[in-house]
């Protein structure tokens, strides 16, 4: 049966027709038809099968992504057009699965797409959070968190009927397995994302995201990373982690047996990937299960070490996970003794306490266990891996030099160019053909069109149209008015001090004061922000309040409003990113050098023709090498300088404040009567005090350089022809950042599928 017939049949079973169906009914019919096709497709096979363990899979809406990979978009668009609607309208009825925080979770989703598209055998293993990450509400001028229920009666989740029993300290808990199909791009392959869930999930809290964290049997899968600030929340995180890895490890051994292999052959037929430390307990759990199946401890540990690989995503010390052994004993008594034996094993390899699995306070260091018990360890961009090897994990890199490798992140161009920016994709294909859809490096062919004014003009036209589309969406969905002829300067990412949204706020204040003095820019500037703050991260929430207050001040000032606008997009998520990124002129990537492991939105912006304004941090370093100095705006201290400042402990923000009168004026404006009238005084005062007294992530160190660099960038924007060429070079060079390239490297060097 062809696709259209399947859709018509699904509509009939809903009691409607294509002409009468509502948006949700059309979505439901398309979902069913898509799933039916995928159920008839076959998973990739190979010598080894990969299981990618991750606490997050930020997959985004799935209808369009699935249709792209099945090669059905044009057919569906034609069908919907014949019935008076469009894919864009129908997909607006799809709730976005809320299964990740940000970069790490979205990376896992891009990887699943690439693994399937390359025809490699690999499934994801994670958790089915019902209320996901919270939904952000900004109506009160500060962030409030609401549950984000996304699972509807008809969804992409398929009940597999499979279940595993997880042995907790309090007793057994059943993990039911739900699958989301992951089709490859036009290759007939379908892999799976396995999401484990409790049998009897708790209902959503009435208001906010407070819930009974002690009710583990029902609330284990309620939220992603329930608040880390109290003991009950931390405990629940460990329950989640063990639930995911125990069920996942049992699935692996069951499938190994189904394929006709012995447990002792695990490493020859299975690759286990540990995405950050959240799934690290898979190591002792797999050792435990192998011992149950008759292997000795040493043999089991060897098999596990040869199967596992670990990716580190951060060098922020506070983000490295540790667990008191007492907590592990209470939550998962079966693995605690194994963790102790693994610690003893590691100590036979190296006596240095710095690399121990369990420290003198009886606390387990998950990353340390991962490095000892994996055969490969990687960072996520060249600079990040270099910092791991030479400083953060130096003793480990000396002990196991062969284990460390770099795997620079990537993003799937199916979603992040073909899906979100169809006009650009079509323009590109009209110039260089379709080959880039299979091999993104072919985008380099665009370099030949650098002097083709018609093509460069086409790029500028597509951007202008995307900006108009974004302006319309912001108006209709959030009541935000922006001018598509202004420069769109975009910073969207999780709110964190190291990412330095607060430094961008200082630019806004500086610009406001300039305009007040009559120094108006040659063209209006629209600063667009989107960011969620962790619920217990006060300073991050305060920075949101600062940006909202500035937005209010600027738009209510008749002198400034024509020239400057601050738009804060509520509830930034994958769907919002798909609208924002194609419309960006300037991509803000301004983290303190050495702190952003890679960044991945930087890659998406680049592929969509935005020009990066950033520090030499994470993958920005590689972007700069690819596009050359004239096609990127770089500022700020180097990572070496910053690491030196931390080592010597001699950064003092109050010195900067004391020596730079202009900067002091900008800073003091945070607590000026004008701004206090527009926002919460307590929040603004806290941000101000932190800047002057602490500024742990050194925003003031780079502010002057940042302001100057952004001004140069905005001035250059006025030479539209030259700017169009910068856009072209960025798109042309972005192919390196395809997650297909990243996955081919993982497979070649780590997984050997």
Q: Does 321 bind ligand 26Q (CB under 6 A)?
A: yes
Binding residue for ligand 26Q (CB under 6 A) from 78, 82, 254, 319? 319
Concerning whether 349 is annotated as a catalytic residue, the answer is no
Give the separation between CA 526 and CA 522, rounded to whole angstroms: 13
User: Which range binds ligand 26Q by CB under 6 A, 98-106, 470-478, 504-512, 705-713?
Assistant: 98-106
Give the C-alpha separation, 380 to 621, whole Å: 12
Strand segments, DSSP code E, in 447-535 are 487-492, 525-530
Among 189, 221, 314, 600, the active-site one is 600
Tell me whether residue 499 is one of the annotated catalytic residues.
yes
**Strand, coil or helix: 480:** coil
Determine which residue in the list 589, 598, 608, 620 makes contact with ligand 26Q, applying CB under 6 A: 598
Distance, C-alpha 699 to centroid of its chain:
23
Out of 34, 314, 368, 501, point to the residue binding ligand 26Q (CB under 6 A).
Answer: 314
Task: Pick the catalytic residue from 6, 403, 493, 541.
Answer: 493
Residues 228-267 that bind ligand 26Q (CB under 6 A): 228
Number of residues that bind ligand 26Q (CB under 6 A): 19
Burial 254-286 (b: 16+ CB within 10 A, else e): eebeeeeeebeebbebbbbbbbbbbbbbbbbbb
Q: Which of 313, 365, 403, 511 binds ligand 26Q (CB under 6 A)?
A: 313
CB of 216 to ligand 26Q, least distance (A): 17
573 binds ligand 26Q (CB under 6 A): no
Decide if 752 is catalytic.
no
For tokens 């050792």, the residue is: 287
Pair 63, 99: CB distance under 8 Å: no
The reply on whether position 107 binds ligand 26Q by CB under 6 A is yes
- Interface region with ligand 26Q, contact rule CB under 6 A, candidates 100-108, 287-295, 508-516, 674-682: 100-108
Is residue 281 close enough to count as binding ligand 26Q by CB under 6 A?
A: no
Site for ligand 26Q contains 587 (CB under 6 A): no
How far apart CA 319 and CA 243 sit, in angstroms, is 21
Residue 220: name the closest of 168, 153, 181 by CA.
Answer: 168
Q: Which is nearer to ligand 26Q, 159 or 228 (CB)?
A: 228
Nearer to ligand 26Q, 189 or 275 (CB): 275
225 part of the interface to ligand 26Q, by CB under 6 A: yes
- For residues 334 and 618, which CB has a smaller minimum distance to ligand 26Q in the complex? 618
Residue closer to ligand 26Q, measured from CB, 111 or 196: 111
Nearest Cα neighbor of 686 from 568, 572, 544, 590 is 544
Contact between 409 and ligand 26Q (CB under 6 A)?
A: yes
Q: In terms of CB distance, is 66 or 573 closer to ligand 26Q?
A: 573
List all residues 6 or more positions away from 630 whose beta carbon is below 8 Å from its beta carbon. Answer: 726
* Cβ contact 164:250 at 8 Å: yes
Judged by CB under 6 A, which stretch of 95-103, 171-179, 355-363, 463-471 contacts ligand 26Q?
95-103
**3-class secondary structure per residue, 626-656:** HHCHHHCEECCCCHHHHHHHHHHCCCCHHHH
- Distance, CA of 181 to CA of 647 (rounded, Å): 48
- Contact call for residues 176 and 196 (beta carbons, < 8 A): yes
* Cβ neighbours around 5 below 10 Å, total: 10
Q: Does 596 bind ligand 26Q (CB under 6 A)?
A: yes
Catalytic, out of 83, 144, 347, 494: 494
The active-site residue out of 496, 604, 725, 733 is 604
CB of 226 to ligand 26Q, least distance (A): 9
Question: Closest by alpha carbon to 158, among 181, 128, 178?
Answer: 178
Catalytic residue status for 463? no
Q: How far is the CB of 118 from ligand 26Q (least distance, A)?
A: 19
Active-site hit among 130, 372, 499, 637: 499
Q: Is 493 a catalytic residue?
A: yes
Residue 597 contacts ligand 26Q per CB under 6 A: yes
**For ligand 26Q, which is the closer residue by CB, 276 or 702?**
276
Q: Which residue is nearest to ligand 26Q (CB)?
A: 103
Nearer to ligand 26Q, 72 or 104 (CB): 104
CB of 224 to ligand 26Q, least distance (A): 9
Query: Judged by CB under 6 A, does residue 599 bind ligand 26Q?
Result: yes
Residue 600 binds to ligand 26Q (criterion: CB under 6 A):
yes
Give 105 or 263: the residue with its C-beta nearer to ligand 26Q. 105
DSSP 557-604: -TTTTTTEEEEEETT--HHHHHHHGGG-SEEEE-PPTTS-S--SHHHH
In angstroms, what is the minimal distance from the CB of 225 to ligand 26Q?
5
In degrees rounded to 5, what are phi and psi of residue 634?
-110, 145
Residue 233's Cβ-side half-sphere holds a number of Cα atoms within 13 Å equal to 13
Of the candidate spans 83-91, 101-109, 190-198, 418-426, the one that interacts with ligand 26Q by CB under 6 A turns out to be 101-109
Minimum distance, C-beta of residue 54 to ligand 26Q, in the bound complex (Å): 10
> Would residue 541 show up in a list of annotated catalytic residues for this protein?
no
Q: In whole angstroms, what is the distance from residue 562 CA to residue 577 CA?
A: 26
User: Phi/psi of residue 287, each to 5°?
Assistant: -60, -45
**514 Cβ contact list (under 8 Å, min separation 6):** none
Rounded to a whole number of angstroms, the distance between the first and last alpha carbons of the chain is 34
> What residues act catalytically?
313, 493-494, 499, 600, 604
Query: Which residues sit at the interface with ligand 26Q, rule CB under 6 A?
Result: 101-104, 107, 225, 228, 313-314, 319, 321, 380, 409, 596-600, 618
């Amino acid at each position: 049966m062809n696709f259209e017939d399947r859709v018509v049949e699904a509509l009939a079973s809903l009691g409607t027709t294509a002409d009468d169906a509502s948006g949700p009914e059309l979505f439901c019919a398309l979902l069913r038809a898509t799933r039916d096709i995928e159920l008839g497709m076959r998973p990739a096979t190979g010598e080894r099968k990969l299981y990618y363990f991750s606490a997050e899979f930020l997959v985004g809406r799935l209808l369009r992504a699935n249709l792209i990979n099945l090669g059905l978009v044009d057919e569906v668009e034609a069908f919907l057009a014949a019935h008076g609607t469009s894919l864009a309208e129908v997909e607006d009825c799809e709730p976005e699965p809320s299964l990740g925080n940000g970069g790490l979770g979205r990376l896992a989703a891009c990887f699943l797409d690439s693994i399937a598209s390359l025809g490699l055998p690999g499934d994801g293993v994670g958790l089915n959070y019902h209320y996901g990450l919270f939904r952000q509400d900004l109506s009160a001028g500060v962030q409030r968190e609401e549950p984000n229920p996304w699972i509807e009666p008809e969804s992409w989740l398929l009940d597999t009927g499979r279940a595993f029993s997880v042995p907790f300290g309090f007793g057994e808990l059943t993990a039911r397995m739900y699958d989301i199909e992951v089709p490859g791009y036009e290759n007939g392959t379908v892999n799976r994302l396995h999401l484990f869930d409790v049998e009897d999930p708790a209902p959503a809290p009435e208001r906010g995201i407070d819930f009974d964290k002690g009710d583990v049997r029902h609330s284990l899968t309620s939220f992603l990373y329930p608040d880390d600030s109290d003991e009950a929340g931390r405990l629940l995180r460990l329950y989640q982690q063990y639930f995911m890895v125990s069920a996942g490890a049992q699935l692996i051994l069951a499938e190994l047996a189904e394929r006709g292999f012995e447990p002792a052959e695990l490493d020859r037929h299975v690759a286990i990937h540990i995405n950050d430390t959240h799934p690290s307990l898979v190591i002792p759990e797999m050792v435990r299960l192998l011992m149950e199946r008759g292997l000795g401890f040493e043999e089991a540990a060897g098999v596990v070490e040869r199967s596992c690989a670990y990716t580190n995503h951060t060098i922020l010390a506070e983000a490295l996970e540790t667990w008191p052994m007492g907590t592990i004993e209470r939550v998962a008594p079966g693995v605690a003794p194994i963790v102790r034996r693994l610690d003893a094993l590691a100590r036979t390899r190296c006596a240095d306490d710095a690399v121990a699995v369990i420290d003198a306070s009886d606390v387990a260091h998950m990353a340390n266990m991962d490095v000892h018990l994996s055969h490969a360890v990687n960072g996520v961009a060249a600079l990040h891996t270099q910092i791991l090897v030479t400083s953060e994990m130096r003793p480990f890199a000396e002990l196991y030099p062969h284990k460390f490798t770099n795997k620079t992140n990537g993003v799937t161009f199916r979603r992040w160019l073909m899906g979100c920016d169809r006009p650009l994709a079509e323009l590109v294909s009209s110039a260089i053909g379709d080959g880039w859809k299979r091999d993104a490096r072919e985008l380099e062919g665009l370099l030949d069109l650098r002097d083709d004014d018609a093509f460069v003009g086409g790029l500028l036209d597509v951007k202008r149209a995307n900006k108009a589309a974004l302006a319309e969406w912001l108006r209709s969905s959030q009541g935000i008015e922006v001018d598509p002829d202004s420069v769109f300067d975009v910073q969207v990412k999780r709110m964190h001090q190291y990412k330095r949204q607060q430094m961008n706020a200082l630019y806004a204040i500086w610009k406001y004061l300039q305009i007040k003095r009559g120094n108006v820019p040659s063209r209006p500037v629209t600063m667009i922000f989107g960011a969620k703050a962790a619920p217990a991260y006060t300073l991050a929430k305060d920075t949101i309040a600062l940006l909202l207050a500035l937005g209010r001040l600027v738009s209510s000032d008749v002198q400034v409003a024509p020239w400057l606008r601050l738009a804060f997009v509520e509830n930034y998520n994958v769907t919002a990113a798909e609208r924002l990124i194609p419309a960006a002129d300037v991509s803000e990537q301004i983290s303190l050098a050495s702190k952003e492991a890679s960044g991945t939105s930087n890659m998406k912006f680049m592929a969509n023709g935005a020009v990066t304004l950033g520090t030499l941090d994470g993958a920005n370093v590689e972007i700069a090498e690819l596009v050359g100095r004239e096609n990127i705006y770089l500022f700020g201290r180097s990572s070496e300088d910053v690491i030196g400042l931390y080592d010597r402990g001699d950064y003092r923000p109050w010195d900067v404040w004391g020596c730079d009168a202009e900067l002091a004026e900008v800073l003091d404006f945070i607590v000026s009567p004008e701004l206090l009238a527009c926002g919460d005084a307590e929040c603004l005062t806290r941000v101000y005090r932190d800047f002057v007294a602490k500024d742990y992530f050194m925003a003031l160190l780079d502010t002057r350089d940042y302001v100057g660099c952004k001004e140069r960038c905005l001035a250059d924007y006025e030479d539209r022809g030259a700017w169009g060429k910068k856009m072209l070079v960025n798109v042309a060079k972005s192919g390196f950042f395809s997650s297909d390239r990243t996955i081919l490297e993982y497979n070649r060097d780590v997984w050997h599928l």
